[in-house]
Chain A
Amino acid sequence: MTATTIVQLRSAIKLDADAIKMIIKFIKNKLNSPKSTIEVNEIVDPQLIAGFKLNINGVEYDYSLTGSLNRLAQEL
């Protein structure tokens, strides 16, 4: 029996199934557990402008335009 990992996916628009699959693949790679079960809680957040954010076991992965802008602001 494999443990289920609940992942929060916050995206600017509703993602299609292919995109979700690719994200799940990415998550499995990150967890180094290809056979684990991933449960994705999707939230649409237009504040992100474009892109998405992942929260995997408390660790946040930011691939949004808002995140990119924030990182740019910190680098300036």
Chain B
Amino acid sequence: MEINFMQVLFQAVNFGVIFFVLTKFLYKPIQKILNDRAIKINDGLKAAEKNLKAESDLEVTKKKELTKVRKEASKIISDAKLDAKEQVSNILKKARAEAKAEAKLILESASSNAKAQEKKTASALKELTIATTRKLLSDTLSAKEVKTITNNMVKNLK
């Protein structure tokens, strides 16, 4: 086999030219694109990591807020229950006092009515008794008895 130096030289030069052209116009832009892409991916990863951390922080904050809100809600419910209990107690107390006062009034009124009725009945009974006695005496006393009574009254004058 015979080596053609001219051809080898030509091929070397050709390779050098191609290498230069490729390095100058293809390799460097691709390298730049790859570097930019790597930077972009790295930035994306960092951003994602940051977002994850933010999300995690948010979750913690959310849990803390929820706990806080639950505690506040529990306290509000507890206070409301106490308040309601106190209000119920006050209402019951007031209602009992009102009922007692009303019962007292009714009792007093009933007692007063009963006393008035009793007085009226006693008065009517008294009048009836006196009228009956008067009528009985008028109808039953004989003239002789009337005379005797009258004379006795005269004798007993002082």
Residues of A near any B CB (own CB < 8 A): 11-13, 15, 19, 22-23, 26, 46, 49-52, 63, 65-66, 69-70, 72-73, 76
Contact = CB atoms under 8 A, between A and B. Distances in A.
A65 B149 contact: yes
B154 A49 contact: no
Given A19-B154, A51-B149, A51-B153, A69 B133 contact: yes
Contacts of A66: 134
B73 to A, nearest CB: 78
Interface string B124-158: 00110110011001100101011101110111011
Contact of B153 (A46, A52, A72, A76): A52
Contacts, number: 55
Given A13-B143, A19-B151, A49 B157 contact: no
Interface of B: 122, 126-127, 129-130, 133-134, 137-138, 141, 143, 145-147, 149-151, 153-155, 157-158
A68 to B, nearest CB: 10
Contacts of B145: 50
A69 B150 contact: no
Contacts of A19: 150-151, 154
A17 B134 CA distance: 28
7 contacts: A13-B146, A26-B157, A49-B134, A50-B141, A50-B145, A50-B153, A65-B137
B157 A73 contact: no
The B contact surface, by secondary structure, is helix
A50 to B, nearest CB: 4
Given A12-B146, A13-B146, A50-B153, 18 more contacts: A12-B150, A13-B143, A13-B150, A19-B154, A22-B155, A22-B157, A23-B157, A46-B138, A49-B134, A50-B150, A51-B150, A52-B150, A52-B153, A52-B154, A63-B154, A65-B137, A69-B133, A76-B129
